Protein backbone atom coordinates (compact mmCIF):
# COMPACT_ATOMS: atom_id res chain seq x y z
CA UNK A 1 0.00 0.00 0.00
CA UNK A 2 1.16 3.57 -0.69
CA UNK A 3 3.12 5.34 2.01
CA UNK A 4 2.39 8.84 0.81
CA UNK A 5 -0.73 10.50 -0.52
CA UNK A 6 -1.57 14.08 -1.41
CA UNK A 7 -5.19 15.15 -0.93
CA UNK A 8 -5.87 18.40 -2.75
CA UNK A 9 -8.62 20.58 -4.18
CA UNK A 10 -9.15 20.44 -7.95
CA UNK A 11 -11.48 23.42 -8.32
CA UNK A 12 -11.75 26.75 -6.41
CA UNK A 13 -11.55 25.36 -2.88
CA UNK A 14 -14.20 23.99 -0.51
CA UNK A 15 -14.37 20.66 -2.33
CA UNK A 16 -14.60 18.75 0.95
CA UNK A 17 -10.85 18.20 1.46
CA UNK A 18 -11.29 18.32 5.25
CA UNK A 19 -13.87 15.55 5.23
CA UNK A 20 -11.80 13.31 2.94
CA UNK A 21 -8.54 13.95 4.83
CA UNK A 22 -10.20 13.20 8.16
CA UNK A 23 -11.71 10.02 6.69
CA UNK A 24 -8.30 8.78 5.56
CA UNK A 25 -6.32 10.09 8.51
CA UNK A 26 -6.62 7.03 10.74
CA UNK A 27 -4.48 5.19 8.18
CA UNK A 28 -1.75 7.88 8.37
CA UNK A 29 1.08 8.35 10.87
CA UNK A 30 1.34 12.00 9.83
CA UNK A 31 -1.04 14.54 8.29
CA UNK A 32 0.78 17.58 6.91
CA UNK A 33 -0.72 20.88 5.79
CA UNK A 34 1.73 22.20 3.20
CA UNK A 35 0.51 25.68 2.18
CA UNK A 36 -1.91 28.48 2.97
CA UNK A 37 -2.99 29.62 6.39
CA UNK A 38 -6.26 30.39 8.14
CA UNK A 39 -7.84 31.42 4.83
CA UNK A 40 -8.75 27.72 4.73
CA UNK A 41 -11.98 26.49 6.31
CA UNK A 42 -12.40 22.74 6.58
CA UNK A 43 -15.62 21.26 7.99
CA UNK A 44 -15.56 17.78 9.45
CA UNK A 45 -18.47 15.81 10.85
CA UNK A 46 -18.36 12.60 12.85
CA UNK A 47 -20.22 11.14 15.84
CA UNK A 48 -22.98 13.77 15.45
CA UNK A 49 -20.59 16.69 15.91
CA UNK A 50 -19.38 19.25 13.41
CA UNK A 51 -15.86 20.68 13.71
CA UNK A 52 -14.45 23.60 11.76
CA UNK A 53 -10.70 23.83 11.22
CA UNK A 54 -8.69 26.66 9.67
CA UNK A 55 -5.05 26.04 10.51
CA UNK A 56 -4.97 22.62 12.12
CA UNK A 57 -4.61 19.62 9.81
CA UNK A 58 -7.73 17.47 9.50
CA UNK A 59 -6.07 14.46 11.14
CA UNK A 60 -6.18 16.22 14.48
CA UNK A 61 -9.08 14.12 15.78
CA UNK A 62 -6.99 10.95 15.64
CA UNK A 63 -4.82 10.71 18.74
CA UNK A 64 -2.54 8.26 16.92
CA UNK A 65 -1.79 10.64 14.04
CA UNK A 66 0.79 13.42 14.23
CA UNK A 67 -0.37 16.65 12.62
CA UNK A 68 2.15 19.07 11.18
CA UNK A 69 1.70 22.62 9.97
CA UNK A 70 4.38 22.47 7.29
CA UNK A 71 7.11 24.88 6.24
CA UNK A 72 5.03 26.11 3.28
CA UNK A 73 2.38 27.63 5.50
CA UNK A 74 1.93 31.17 6.80
CA UNK A 75 0.57 30.81 10.32
CA UNK A 76 -1.16 33.36 12.51
CA UNK A 77 0.09 32.20 15.92
CA UNK A 78 -2.80 33.85 17.78
CA UNK A 79 -5.35 32.03 15.61
CA UNK A 80 -3.40 28.81 16.06
CA UNK A 81 -3.66 29.10 19.85
CA UNK A 82 -7.37 29.99 19.61
CA UNK A 83 -7.99 26.91 17.50
CA UNK A 84 -5.99 24.69 19.84
CA UNK A 85 -7.87 26.11 22.85
CA UNK A 86 -11.23 25.45 21.21
CA UNK A 87 -10.47 21.74 20.89
CA UNK A 88 -10.68 19.16 23.63
CA UNK A 89 -7.32 18.64 25.30
CA UNK A 90 -6.99 15.09 24.04
CA UNK A 91 -6.54 16.52 20.54
CA UNK A 92 -3.68 18.93 21.47
CA UNK A 93 -0.77 16.61 21.93
CA UNK A 94 -0.28 15.71 18.36
CA UNK A 95 -0.02 19.10 16.67
CA UNK A 96 3.30 20.61 15.61
CA UNK A 97 4.48 23.68 13.69
CA UNK A 98 7.43 23.61 11.29
CA UNK A 99 10.34 25.79 12.40
CA UNK A 100 10.55 26.95 8.77
CA UNK A 101 6.92 28.09 8.50
CA UNK A 102 6.37 31.86 8.43
CA UNK A 103 4.64 33.87 11.14
CA UNK A 104 1.59 35.83 10.03
CA UNK A 105 1.25 38.94 12.21
CA UNK A 106 -1.78 41.18 12.83
CA UNK A 107 -0.36 43.82 10.51
CA UNK A 108 -0.50 41.34 7.61
CA UNK A 109 -4.26 41.19 8.10
CA UNK A 110 -4.43 44.97 8.23
CA UNK A 111 -2.41 45.25 5.02
CA UNK A 112 -4.64 42.64 3.31
CA UNK A 113 -7.69 44.79 4.07
CA UNK A 114 -5.95 47.97 2.89
CA UNK A 115 -4.80 46.33 -0.37
CA UNK A 116 -8.35 45.19 -1.09
CA UNK A 117 -9.72 48.67 -0.33
CA UNK A 118 -7.18 50.20 -2.71
CA UNK A 119 -8.25 47.82 -5.50
CA UNK A 120 -11.88 48.96 -5.13
CA UNK A 121 -14.06 47.32 -7.78
CA UNK A 122 -11.03 45.32 -8.97
CA UNK A 123 -10.58 43.63 -5.59
CA UNK A 124 -9.61 39.95 -5.34
CA UNK A 125 -12.22 39.19 -2.70
CA UNK A 126 -9.64 37.74 -0.30
CA UNK A 127 -10.53 36.26 3.07
CA UNK A 128 -8.65 39.23 4.63
CA UNK A 129 -6.62 36.84 6.77
CA UNK A 130 -3.33 38.48 5.74
CA UNK A 131 -2.25 35.63 3.47
CA UNK A 132 -1.01 37.72 0.48
CA UNK A 133 1.03 40.17 2.60
CA UNK A 134 2.57 37.33 4.66
CA UNK A 135 3.71 35.46 1.52
CA UNK A 136 4.89 38.78 0.04
CA UNK A 137 7.16 39.24 3.08
CA UNK A 138 8.42 35.67 2.70
CA UNK A 139 9.30 36.27 -0.98
CA UNK A 140 10.83 39.66 -0.17
CA UNK A 141 12.93 37.94 2.51
CA UNK A 142 11.57 40.20 5.21
CA UNK A 143 9.38 37.57 6.89
CA UNK A 144 9.98 35.89 10.23
CA UNK A 145 10.11 32.10 10.58
CA UNK A 146 8.93 30.23 13.66
CA UNK A 147 12.53 29.21 14.43
CA UNK A 148 13.34 32.91 14.88
CA UNK A 149 10.00 33.78 16.50
CA UNK A 150 10.79 31.55 19.49
CA UNK A 151 14.51 32.40 19.67
CA UNK A 152 16.17 34.87 22.07
CA UNK A 153 17.06 37.13 19.12
CA UNK A 154 13.38 37.64 18.18
CA UNK A 155 13.01 41.09 19.88
CA UNK A 156 15.89 42.52 17.84
CA UNK A 157 14.54 41.10 14.60
CA UNK A 158 10.97 42.19 15.33
CA UNK A 159 12.04 45.77 16.24
CA UNK A 160 13.51 46.15 12.78
CA UNK A 161 10.37 44.69 11.20
CA UNK A 162 8.11 46.94 13.26
CA UNK A 163 9.93 50.08 12.21
CA UNK A 164 9.50 49.12 8.54
CA UNK A 165 5.85 48.20 9.05
CA UNK A 166 5.18 51.52 10.88
CA UNK A 167 6.50 53.38 7.86
CA UNK A 168 4.29 51.38 5.51
CA UNK A 169 1.23 51.95 7.66
CA UNK A 170 2.02 55.65 8.15
CA UNK A 171 1.50 56.12 4.41
CA UNK A 172 -2.10 54.97 5.03
CA UNK A 173 -2.43 57.37 8.00
CA UNK A 174 -2.28 54.45 10.47
CA UNK A 175 -0.14 54.04 13.57
CA UNK A 176 0.89 50.93 15.46
CA UNK A 177 1.94 50.68 19.08
CA UNK A 178 5.27 48.88 18.63
CA UNK A 179 5.97 48.38 22.34
CA UNK A 180 2.56 46.80 22.96
CA UNK A 181 2.94 44.53 19.93
CA UNK A 182 6.39 43.45 21.06
CA UNK A 183 5.11 42.53 24.49
CA UNK A 184 2.08 40.72 23.14
CA UNK A 185 4.04 38.66 20.61
CA UNK A 186 6.72 37.75 23.16
CA UNK A 187 3.91 36.20 25.22
CA UNK A 188 2.50 34.42 22.17
CA UNK A 189 5.96 33.09 21.25
CA UNK A 190 6.38 31.65 24.73
CA UNK A 191 3.15 29.66 24.36
CA UNK A 192 3.96 28.60 20.80
CA UNK A 193 7.45 27.31 21.62
CA UNK A 194 6.52 23.74 22.63
CA UNK A 195 4.73 23.21 19.30
CA UNK A 196 7.69 24.13 17.08
CA UNK A 197 9.80 21.30 15.61
CA UNK A 198 12.23 20.54 12.80
CA UNK A 199 9.44 19.13 10.64
CA UNK A 200 11.60 18.58 7.55
CA UNK A 201 13.98 16.33 9.48
CA UNK A 202 11.20 14.53 11.32
CA UNK A 203 9.09 13.84 8.23
CA UNK A 204 12.02 12.51 6.23
CA UNK A 205 13.09 10.25 9.08
CA UNK A 206 9.53 9.05 9.48
CA UNK A 207 9.25 8.19 5.79
CA UNK A 208 12.61 6.41 5.83
CA UNK A 209 11.40 4.25 8.71
CA UNK A 210 8.28 3.21 6.82
CA UNK A 211 5.72 5.62 8.29
CA UNK A 212 2.74 6.82 6.23
CA UNK A 213 2.28 10.51 5.40
CA UNK A 214 -0.86 12.20 4.13
CA UNK A 215 -0.44 15.69 2.69
CA UNK A 216 -3.48 17.93 3.05
CA UNK A 217 -3.97 20.74 0.56
CA UNK A 218 -5.94 23.89 1.20
CA UNK A 219 -7.76 25.96 -1.48
CA UNK A 220 -7.69 24.40 -4.97
CA UNK A 221 -5.81 24.22 -8.26
CA UNK A 222 -7.69 27.14 -9.83
CA UNK A 223 -6.63 29.29 -6.86
CA UNK A 224 -2.96 28.24 -7.22
CA UNK A 225 -0.65 31.25 -7.60
CA UNK A 226 0.97 29.74 -10.73
CA UNK A 227 -1.78 27.64 -12.28
CA UNK A 228 -4.92 29.40 -11.09
CA UNK A 229 -6.94 32.21 -12.63
CA UNK A 230 -4.32 34.86 -11.78
CA UNK A 231 -4.68 37.44 -10.25
CA UNK A 232 -7.87 36.01 -8.70
CA UNK A 233 -5.93 33.40 -6.78
CA UNK A 234 -4.41 32.83 -3.38
CA UNK A 235 -0.69 33.35 -2.76
CA UNK A 236 0.59 29.77 -2.54
CA UNK A 237 0.89 26.58 -4.60
CA UNK A 238 -2.20 24.52 -3.82
CA UNK A 239 -1.40 22.00 -6.56
CA UNK A 240 0.70 18.86 -6.03
CA UNK A 241 4.09 20.56 -6.36
CA UNK A 242 3.31 22.53 -3.22
CA UNK A 243 3.24 19.33 -1.18
CA UNK A 244 6.95 18.80 -1.83
CA UNK A 245 8.14 22.38 -1.36
CA UNK A 246 5.79 22.89 1.56
CA UNK A 247 6.89 19.83 3.52
CA UNK A 248 10.48 19.06 2.55
CA UNK A 249 9.57 15.59 1.23
CA UNK A 250 11.13 15.21 -2.22
CA UNK A 251 8.73 14.92 -5.19
CA UNK A 252 10.05 11.49 -6.21
CA UNK A 253 8.91 10.12 -2.83
CA UNK A 254 5.27 11.02 -3.51
CA UNK A 255 3.36 8.99 -6.05
CA UNK A 256 -0.37 9.15 -5.29
CA UNK A 257 -2.46 12.28 -5.67
CA UNK A 258 -6.13 12.26 -4.75
CA UNK A 259 -8.04 15.16 -6.26
CA UNK A 260 -11.12 16.16 -4.29
CA UNK A 261 -13.85 17.42 -6.59
CA UNK A 262 -17.34 18.64 -5.91
CA UNK A 263 -20.06 17.07 -8.07
CA UNK A 264 -20.71 20.63 -9.27
CA UNK A 265 -18.64 23.82 -8.90
CA UNK A 266 -18.37 26.65 -6.41
CA UNK A 267 -16.27 29.77 -6.06
CA UNK A 268 -16.00 32.40 -3.30
CA UNK A 269 -14.50 35.80 -3.99
CA UNK A 270 -14.08 37.59 -7.30
CA UNK A 271 -12.88 36.33 -10.68
CA UNK A 272 -14.52 34.77 -13.72
CA UNK A 273 -16.33 31.45 -13.26
CA UNK A 274 -17.11 29.99 -16.69
CA UNK A 275 -19.78 27.49 -15.61
CA UNK A 276 -21.50 29.81 -13.10
CA UNK A 277 -25.26 29.20 -12.90
CA UNK A 278 -27.26 32.40 -12.98
CA UNK A 279 -30.81 31.03 -12.52
CA UNK A 280 -32.80 29.57 -9.61
CA UNK A 281 -30.94 26.24 -9.75
CA UNK A 282 -27.95 28.01 -8.16
CA UNK A 283 -30.05 29.07 -5.18
CA UNK A 284 -31.44 25.57 -4.87
CA UNK A 285 -27.95 23.98 -4.87
CA UNK A 286 -26.62 26.65 -2.48
CA UNK A 287 -29.31 25.93 0.09
CA UNK A 288 -29.18 22.16 -0.26
CA UNK A 289 -25.37 22.05 -0.17
CA UNK A 290 -25.15 24.73 2.55
CA UNK A 291 -22.78 26.61 0.29
CA UNK A 292 -21.64 29.40 2.59
CA UNK A 293 -17.94 29.99 3.35
CA UNK A 294 -16.56 28.20 6.44
CA UNK A 295 -14.13 31.07 7.10
CA UNK A 296 -16.09 34.15 6.07
CA UNK A 297 -19.74 33.04 5.83
CA UNK A 298 -19.95 34.49 2.30
CA UNK A 299 -22.48 32.78 -0.03
CA UNK A 300 -20.54 30.67 -2.51
CA UNK A 301 -21.13 31.15 -6.24
CA UNK A 302 -22.50 27.98 -7.84
CA UNK A 303 -21.69 26.42 -11.22
CA UNK A 304 -21.96 23.21 -13.22
CA UNK A 305 -19.14 20.66 -13.15
CA UNK A 306 -16.26 22.12 -15.14
CA UNK A 307 -14.52 19.22 -16.88
CA UNK A 308 -11.97 21.59 -18.45
CA UNK A 309 -10.86 22.87 -15.03
CA UNK A 310 -10.67 19.39 -13.48
CA UNK A 311 -8.77 17.95 -16.48
CA UNK A 312 -6.33 20.85 -16.20
CA UNK A 313 -5.97 20.01 -12.51
CA UNK A 314 -5.25 16.38 -13.46
CA UNK A 315 -2.50 17.62 -15.74
CA UNK A 316 -0.73 19.99 -13.33
CA UNK A 317 -1.09 17.79 -10.25
CA UNK A 318 -0.79 14.35 -11.84
CA UNK A 319 -4.01 13.18 -10.21
CA UNK A 320 -4.17 9.41 -9.77
CA UNK A 321 -7.66 9.29 -8.28
CA UNK A 322 -10.69 11.49 -7.69
CA UNK A 323 -12.92 11.78 -4.63
CA UNK A 324 -16.27 13.14 -5.83
CA UNK A 325 -18.07 14.94 -2.99
CA UNK A 326 -21.56 16.40 -2.44
CA UNK A 327 -23.10 14.08 -5.02
CA UNK A 328 -26.23 13.93 -2.81
CA UNK A 329 -26.81 17.65 -3.41
CA UNK A 330 -27.61 17.04 -7.09
CA UNK A 331 -30.52 14.66 -6.32
CA UNK A 332 -33.83 16.06 -7.55
CA UNK A 333 -32.60 17.80 -10.72
CA UNK A 334 -34.21 16.82 -14.04
CA UNK A 335 -30.91 17.22 -15.87
CA UNK A 336 -27.32 17.87 -14.89
CA UNK A 337 -24.66 19.49 -17.02
CA UNK A 338 -20.95 18.91 -17.46
CA UNK A 339 -18.75 21.43 -19.27
CA UNK A 340 -16.52 19.56 -21.71
CA UNK A 341 -14.83 22.45 -23.54
CA UNK A 342 -14.69 26.25 -23.69
CA UNK A 343 -15.36 28.44 -26.66
CA UNK A 344 -12.95 31.37 -26.76
CA UNK A 345 -13.81 33.94 -29.44
CA UNK A 346 -14.94 31.28 -31.89
CA UNK A 347 -12.20 28.74 -31.08
CA UNK A 348 -12.79 25.52 -29.09
CA UNK A 349 -10.25 25.05 -26.31
CA UNK A 350 -9.73 22.39 -23.63
CA UNK A 351 -7.46 24.19 -21.22
CA UNK A 352 -7.35 27.16 -18.85
CA UNK A 353 -5.87 30.15 -20.70
CA UNK A 354 -3.07 32.03 -18.94
CA UNK A 355 -4.51 35.50 -19.45
CA UNK A 356 -7.43 36.46 -17.26
CA UNK A 357 -8.89 38.49 -20.14
CA UNK A 358 -9.08 35.31 -22.23
CA UNK A 359 -10.51 33.33 -19.33
CA UNK A 360 -13.20 35.98 -18.83
CA UNK A 361 -14.22 35.54 -22.47
CA UNK A 362 -14.52 31.74 -22.33
CA UNK A 363 -18.01 30.32 -22.81
CA UNK A 364 -18.91 26.83 -21.59
CA UNK A 365 -19.86 24.00 -23.95
CA UNK A 366 -22.07 21.55 -22.11
CA UNK A 367 -23.09 17.95 -22.26
CA UNK A 368 -26.49 17.36 -20.65
CA UNK A 369 -27.19 14.21 -18.70
CA UNK A 370 -30.38 12.92 -17.13
CA UNK A 371 -30.59 13.61 -13.39
CA UNK A 372 -31.91 11.39 -10.60
CA UNK A 373 -34.66 11.99 -8.03
CA UNK A 374 -33.69 9.50 -5.31
CA UNK A 375 -32.14 10.50 -1.98
CA UNK A 376 -28.67 8.92 -2.12
CA UNK A 377 -27.39 10.04 1.28
CA UNK A 378 -27.55 6.50 2.69
CA UNK A 379 -25.83 4.79 -0.25
CA UNK A 380 -23.06 2.50 0.96
CA UNK A 381 -21.66 1.30 -2.34
CA UNK A 382 -21.50 2.38 -5.96
CA UNK A 383 -24.19 -0.14 -6.88
CA UNK A 384 -26.59 1.50 -4.36
CA UNK A 385 -26.60 4.65 -6.52
CA UNK A 386 -29.36 5.16 -9.11
CA UNK A 387 -28.29 4.36 -12.66
CA UNK A 388 -28.20 8.03 -13.69
CA UNK A 389 -25.95 8.94 -10.75
CA UNK A 390 -23.63 6.06 -11.69
CA UNK A 391 -23.66 7.30 -15.25
CA UNK A 392 -22.76 10.83 -14.07
CA UNK A 393 -19.74 9.49 -12.15
CA UNK A 394 -18.66 7.43 -15.15
CA UNK A 395 -18.88 10.50 -17.42
CA UNK A 396 -16.69 12.43 -14.96
CA UNK A 397 -14.13 9.62 -15.13
CA UNK A 398 -14.21 9.61 -18.92
CA UNK A 399 -14.01 13.40 -19.33
CA UNK A 400 -11.25 13.95 -16.76
CA UNK A 401 -9.36 10.73 -17.44
CA UNK A 402 -9.09 9.96 -13.72
CA UNK A 403 -10.76 7.05 -11.87
CA UNK A 404 -13.26 8.03 -9.18
CA UNK A 405 -12.00 6.10 -6.14
CA UNK A 406 -14.19 7.71 -3.49
CA UNK A 407 -17.70 9.18 -3.48
CA UNK A 408 -19.12 11.30 -0.69
CA UNK A 409 -22.91 11.42 -0.28
CA UNK A 410 -23.22 13.54 2.86
CA UNK A 411 -21.14 15.59 5.30
CA UNK A 412 -20.76 12.81 7.86
CA UNK A 413 -17.75 10.52 7.95
CA UNK A 414 -20.04 7.52 7.54
CA UNK A 415 -21.50 8.89 4.29
CA UNK A 416 -18.49 7.85 2.24
CA UNK A 417 -18.20 5.22 -0.48
CA UNK A 418 -14.75 3.75 -0.97
CA UNK A 419 -14.37 2.17 -4.43
CA UNK A 420 -10.66 1.48 -4.25
CA UNK A 421 -8.25 1.41 -1.36
CA UNK A 422 -5.63 3.97 -2.28
CA UNK A 423 -3.79 4.56 1.02
P1 LIG B 1 -12.81 22.07 2.24
O2 LIG B 1 -12.41 23.48 2.43
O3 LIG B 1 -12.38 21.50 0.94
O4 LIG B 1 -12.42 21.18 3.40
O5 LIG B 1 -14.40 22.07 2.19
P6 LIG B 1 -15.39 22.85 3.21
O7 LIG B 1 -15.42 22.11 4.48
O8 LIG B 1 -15.06 24.30 3.24
O9 LIG B 1 -16.74 22.74 2.40
C10 LIG B 1 -17.35 21.53 2.14
C11 LIG B 1 -18.73 21.54 2.80
O12 LIG B 1 -19.48 20.46 2.33
C13 LIG B 1 -18.69 21.36 4.31
O14 LIG B 1 -19.76 22.06 4.87
C15 LIG B 1 -18.85 19.85 4.49
O16 LIG B 1 -19.43 19.50 5.74
C17 LIG B 1 -19.80 19.56 3.38
N18 LIG B 1 -19.68 18.23 2.78
C19 LIG B 1 -18.56 17.51 2.50
N20 LIG B 1 -18.87 16.40 1.79
C21 LIG B 1 -20.21 16.43 1.62
C22 LIG B 1 -21.13 15.58 0.92
O23 LIG B 1 -20.79 14.58 0.33
N24 LIG B 1 -22.44 15.96 0.93
C25 LIG B 1 -22.88 17.08 1.58
N26 LIG B 1 -24.17 17.35 1.54
N27 LIG B 1 -22.04 17.90 2.22
C28 LIG B 1 -20.72 17.59 2.24
P1 LIG C 1 -10.36 26.00 1.58
O2 LIG C 1 -9.07 25.42 2.08
C3 LIG C 1 -12.36 28.80 -1.09
C4 LIG C 1 -10.18 32.47 -2.07
C5 LIG C 1 -10.72 33.79 -1.59
C6 LIG C 1 -10.25 34.69 -2.71
C7 LIG C 1 -8.86 34.13 -3.04
C8 LIG C 1 -7.71 34.83 -2.34
O9 LIG C 1 -11.43 26.08 2.60
O10 LIG C 1 -10.77 25.35 0.31
P11 LIG C 1 -6.78 34.80 0.15
O12 LIG C 1 -7.42 35.15 1.44
O13 LIG C 1 -6.27 33.39 0.09
O14 LIG C 1 -5.74 35.78 -0.27
O15 LIG C 1 -7.96 34.92 -0.95
O16 LIG C 1 -8.91 32.78 -2.63
N17 LIG C 1 -9.95 31.45 -1.02
C18 LIG C 1 -10.71 30.37 -0.85
N19 LIG C 1 -11.84 29.98 -1.47
N20 LIG C 1 -11.80 28.01 -0.15
C21 LIG C 1 -10.65 28.36 0.47
O22 LIG C 1 -9.99 27.54 1.30
C23 LIG C 1 -10.08 29.63 0.16
N24 LIG C 1 -8.99 30.30 0.59
C25 LIG C 1 -8.93 31.41 -0.14
O26 LIG C 1 -12.13 33.74 -1.49
O27 LIG C 1 -11.05 34.51 -3.85
MG1 LIG D 1 -13.28 25.33 2.84
d(CA 383, CA 369): 19
* Residue 293 in this model has a pLDDT that exceeds 90: no
The finding on whether 221 has its CB within 6 A of some atom of ligand 2 is: no
Crossing angle of the two packed helices 307-317 and 387-400, in degrees rounded to 10: 50
Q: How many Cβ atoms sit within 10 Å of the Cβ of residue 351? A: 13
Instruction: Report how far residue 358's alpha carbon sits from residue 345's, in angstroms, rounded to the nearest whole number.
Output: 9
Whether 92 sits among the annotated catalytic residues: the reply is no
Q: Where in the chain do CATH 3.40.440.10 domains reside?
A: 4-99+195-256
Query: Can you tell me the mean pLDDT for 288-316?
Result: 94
Total count of residues recorded for the chain = 423
In this prediction, residue 24 carries a pLDDT of: 97
Ligand with an atom nearest the CA of residue 323: 1
| Element of type H or E holding 361 | helix 356-361
CB of 133 closer than 8 Å to CB of 143? no
Instruction: Name the residue of 14, 33, 39 to mutate for ligand 2: max ligand atoms within 8 A of Cβ.
Output: 39
CATH architecture entry for 103-193: Orthogonal Bundle (1.10)
pLDDT attached to residue 51: 94
| DSSP characters over 224-290 | -TTTSSTTSS-SS--STHHHHHTT---GGG--EEEEEEESSEEE-SSS--TTB--SHHHHHHHHHTT
Q: How confident is the model at residue 88 (pLDDT cuts 50, 70, 90)?
A: confident
Residue 93 has pLDDT above 80, yes or no: no
CATH 3.90.170.10 in the chain, residue ranges = 262-317+324-418
Give the DSSP H or E segment for 348: strand 347-349
Q: Tell me which residue has its CA closest to atom 25 in ligand 2.
A: 39
Asked if residue 260 lies in contact with residue 325, where contact means CB atoms within 8 angstroms, the answer is yes
Q: Which ligand ends up closest to the CA of 39?
A: 2
Which is catalytic among the residues 29, 38, 42, 137?
A: 42
Determine the atom of ligand 2 nearest the C-alpha atom of 127: 12
Pairing relation of β-strands 66-69 and 49-53?
A: unpaired
Query: Is 318:255 a contact under the CB 8 Å cutoff?
Result: no
What local confidence, expressed as pLDDT, does residue 89 receive?
Answer: 78
- Choice among 41-50, 80-89, 367-376 with the minimum mean pLDDT: 80-89
Record: fold of 262-317+324-418: Adenylosuccinate Synthetase; Chain A, domain 3 (3.90.170)
- Expressed in angstroms and rounded, the spacing between residue 325 Cα and the centre of ligand 2 is 19
As annotated, the residues of the chain forming the CATH 1.10.300.10 domain(s) are 103-193
Q: Where does the pLDDT of residue 297 fall: very low under 50, low under 70, confident under 90, or very high at 90 and above?
A: confident
For residue 298, give the ligand nearest its CA: 2
pLDDT at 1 over 80: no
Please tell me the class of the 4-99+195-256 domain. Answer: alpha beta
**Residue of 14, 112, 224, 306 marked active site:** 14
8 Å CB contact between 340 and 334: no
Q: What is the pLDDT of residues 64-76, one digit of tens each?
A: 999 999 999 999 9
Which run of H or of E encompasses 321? strand 321-325
* Sign of the C-alpha dihedral computed for residues 107, 271, 295 and 37 taken in this order: negative
- The residue to mutate among 20, 119, 267, 268, having the most atoms of ligand 2 within 8 angstroms of its beta carbon, is 268
The share of the chain scoring above pLDDT 90, in percent, equals 95
Dist. CA 328 → ligand 1 center (Å)? 11
335 pairs with which residues across the strands? 370
Three-state secondary-structure class, residue 39: coil
With a cut of 90, say whether residue 40 has pLDDT above it: yes
Can you give the pLDDT at residue 296?
A: 81
> Residue 235 Cα, ligand 2 centroid: separation in angstroms?
9
92 has pLDDT over 80: no
Ligand 1 site, CB within 6 A: 9, 13-19, 41-43, 45, 289-290, 294, 325-326, 328-329, 408-411
Give residue 295's pLDDT band: very low, low, confident or very high (50, 70, 90): confident
Find, among 110, 71, 288, the residue nearest to 196 by Cα: 71
The Cα 6–Cα 184 span in angstroms is: 36
Section 349-365 average pLDDT = 98
Instruction: Identify which of 8, 37, 43, 238 to mutate to test ligand 1's pocket (most ligand atoms within 8 A of the CB).
Output: 43
Q: How far is the CA of 273 from the centre of ligand 2 (A)?
A: 14
Residue 358 phi/psi, 5-degree rounding, is: -65, -45
- pTM score: 0.97
Predicted confidence band at 91 (pLDDT cuts at 50, 70, 90)?
confident
Task: Identify the residue whose C-alpha is closest to ligand 1 atom 9.
Answer: 14
- pLDDT, tens digit, 9 for 90 and up, residues 169-227: 998 899 999 999 999 999 999 999 999 999 999 999 999 999 999 999 999 999 999 99
Q: What integer best gives the mean pLDDT of the chain?
A: 96
Active site includes 153? Answer: no
pLDDT class for 10, splitting at 50, 70, 90? very high
In whole angstroms, what is the distance from residue 412 CA to residue 368 CA?
29
pLDDT at position 344 is 98
Q: How far is the CA of 220 from the centre of ligand 3 (A)?
A: 10
Q: CB 382: neighbour CB atoms within 10 A?
A: 15
Q: Which residue's CA is minimally distant from atom 25 of ligand 1?
A: 410
Confidence of residue 260 (pLDDT cuts 50, 70, 90): very high
Q: Distance (Å, rounded) from C-alpha 408 to C-alpha 379?
A: 9
CB-based contacts of 310, cutoff 8 Å, min separation 6: 10, 11, 259, 261, 322, 396, 399, 400, 402
Nearest Cα to 223, choosing from 7, 13, 6? 13
C-alpha 409 – ligand 3 centre gap (Å): 17
Amino acid sequence: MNKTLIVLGTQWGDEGKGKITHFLSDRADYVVRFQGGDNAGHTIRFQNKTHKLHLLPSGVFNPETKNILGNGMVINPKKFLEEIDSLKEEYHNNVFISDRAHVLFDYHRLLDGLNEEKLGAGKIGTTKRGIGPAYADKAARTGIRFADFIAPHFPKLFSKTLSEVSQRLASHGLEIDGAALMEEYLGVAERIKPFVIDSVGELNEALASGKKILFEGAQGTLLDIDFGTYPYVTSSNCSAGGAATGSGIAPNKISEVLGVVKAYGTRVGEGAFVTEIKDGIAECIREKGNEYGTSTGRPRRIGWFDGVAVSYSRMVSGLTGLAVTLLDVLSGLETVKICTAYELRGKIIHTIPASIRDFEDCKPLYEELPGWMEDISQAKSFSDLPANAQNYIERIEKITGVPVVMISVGPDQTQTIMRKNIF
